[in-house]
Amino acid sequence: MGLQDDVARVLITEDELQTRVAELGWAINEVYNDDDRPLLVCVLKGAFIFLADLTRHLAMRHEVDFMEVSSYGAGTESTGVVRILLDLEQSIEGRHVLIVEDIVDSGRTLAYMARNLQTRGPASLRICALLSKPARREVDVELDWVGFEVPNEFVVGYGLDYAEEYRSLPFIGVLKEEVYAKSG
Ligand code: PRP
């Protein structure tokens, strides 16, 4: 009866996720120092768990802020339309900005975000994405750090949802087709 019953198989285990997130943290530690005081921009909602884990591996002084954009309806396909639902609280002019994203699918969300944030005059703009699904890419985006490349399957867990559920699963799993086939 649990959420886990809707998962066909585990793609990335909790241990693998935690190990990789720590590695990403160490790699990011090589790039910024205290004086940079980077601003991590968490792309809500999917990236909130990744951000929470990643931030605790960062050694330099840094801040976090949040942006929510929407490219999907309740289904599984990107509409290509990106809307800002929640904008940053602070100005990023002259700041070192690191976008933290859970998954890059078509690339439209990040392409839009990078373009939008770039117009605000940051000192630098980098992107760290936990997952990338290259098979689905429609727009090229340069990713500075990627946790895992995943196959073209419907993945949930560790922040990623289907119809707002499954975000709390501690692993990345493939959703059973019958779960999302039901709602078309
Ligand atoms: C997902 C994901 C990315 C985006 C990737 O967000 O978190 O932000 O889609 O897709 P793209 O590369 O095709 O643009 P979603 O809109 O599902 O919102 P959520 O993070 O709130 O679940």
Write the secondary structure of 15-47 as one string of H (helix), E (strand) and C (coil): HHHHHHHHHHHHHHHCCCCHHHCCEEEEEECCC
7 within a domain of the structure (yes/no): no
Is residue 72 lining ligand 1, measured as CB closer than 6 Å?
yes
Cβ of 76 closer than 6 Å to ligand 1, yes or no, is no
Is the per-residue pLDDT at 78 higher than 60? no
For 65, the domain range is: 15-150
Q: 34 phi and psi, to 5 degrees?
A: -55, -40
- Whether residue 167 lies inside any domain: the answer is no
Asked whether residue 168 is assigned to any structural domain, the reply reads no
Does residue 91 surpass a pLDDT of 60? yes
Indicate whether 158 belongs to any domain: no
The proportion of the chain whose per-residue pLDDT surpasses 90, expressed as a percent, equals: 88
Position 182 confidence tier, pLDDT thresholds 50, 70, 90:
confident
Is residue 4 domain-resident? no
Closest-lying ligand 1 atom to the alpha carbon of residue 133: 12
> What single DSSP character describes residue 57?
T
Model confidence over 34-53: pLDDT tens digits? 999 999 999 999 999 999 99
Q: What is the pLDDT of residue 76?
A: 53
Q: Does ligand 1 come within 6 angstroms of the Cβ of 113?
A: no
Domain assignment of residue 72, yes or no: yes
Q: Is the CB of 103 under 6 A from ligand 1?
A: yes
**What's the pLDDT at 184?**
55
Indicate the top mutation candidate among 72, 79, 140, 141 to test ligand 1's pocket, ranked by most ligand atoms within 8 A of CB. 72
pLDDT tens digit sequence for 111-164? 999 999 999 999 999 999 999 999 999 999 999 999 999 999 999 999 999 999
Helices (H) and strands (E) in the chain, counts: 4, 9
Banded pLDDT at 57 (limits 50, 70, 90): very high
| Mean pLDDT score across all residues of the chain | 94
Residue 82 pLDDT greater than 90, yes or no = no
The answer as to whether 184 is a domain residue is no
Structure confidence at residue 115 (pLDDT): 94
CATH number of domain containing 130 = 3.40.50.2020
pLDDT at 72 (0 to 100): 57
Domain contains 25: yes
d(CA 91, CA 94): 9
CA angle at 115 for the pair 57 and 112, rounded to the nearest 5°: 85
Domain count, the chain: 1
Taking the CA of residue 106 as reference, the ligand 1 atom at the shortest distance is 13
Active site residues: 105
